[in-house]
Amino acid sequence: MARVRGDPITTALAHPTRRALYIKLAQSDECSTVQLQSFVGVDRYNLYHHLKKLASLNLIENHRDQGRARWWKVADLVELPELIGTSNNLDDGLGITTEPQPSQPAIEQDRSSVILELEGSRMQISAKQLLTQLSETLGLQLDIPWSFIPEKIVLLGPKEDESHE
């Protein structure tokens, strides 16, 4: 299977554990390694692997050590859908907006629908690439932000015909 290549920050934040760590830190002033470990539920070795990856991209930093505890905070704020409407000490023109999200469109009740849960970063990235290719093939202007990671896809079928009942 071919590897997906892209922007290093996008690729790093596409991983569910790193994304969860980054969002947790963006919503807090700081967190200790122990707090982050209990939040994401991975062993210490894997936690440090993900923290080092985020730190190598200058997204987070280990800003102080207190005894044996390391404290982490966001160094560079990236606009993510999960952070829209969030306010913290970094909300000073670095990309977080407080505009309300538009409500989800209603699905017409007489249509059949299927909701596909996208589990794992590979499925999510593949779904994003599929949406991009479909929009290009159909000549649609689909402005997908670089930080868009789909969690679900809703497939709508034709309107149910009463004569088929």
pLDDT digits (tens, 9 = 90+) for 35-89: 999 999 999 999 999 999 999 999 999 988 878 889 999 999 888 777 765 544 4
pLDDT band at 108 (very low <50, low <70, confident <90, very high): low
pLDDT digits 0-9 by tens, 18-50:
999 999 999 999 999 999 999 999 999 999 999
Q: Give the chain's domains with CATH numbers.
A: 8-83 (1.10.10.10), 111-164 (no CATH)
The fraction of the chain above a pLDDT of 70, given in percent, is 74
**Rounded-to-5 percentages of helix, strand, coil across the chain:** 40, 20, 45
Largest CA distance in the chain: 73
Cα distance between residue 47 and residue 116, in whole Å: 29
pLDDT at 89: 45
Mean pLDDT score of the chain = 77
pLDDT at 5: 62
Query: Where would I find the beta strands (DSSP E) of the chain?
Result: 31-32, 60-66, 69-74, 111-117, 152-159
Query: SS3 sequence, 86-103?
Result: CCCCCCCCCCCCCCCCCC
Question: Per the structure block, which two tokens stand in for 20?
Answer: 């969860």
Which pairs from 37-41 meet CB under 8 Å and 24+ separation? Answer: none
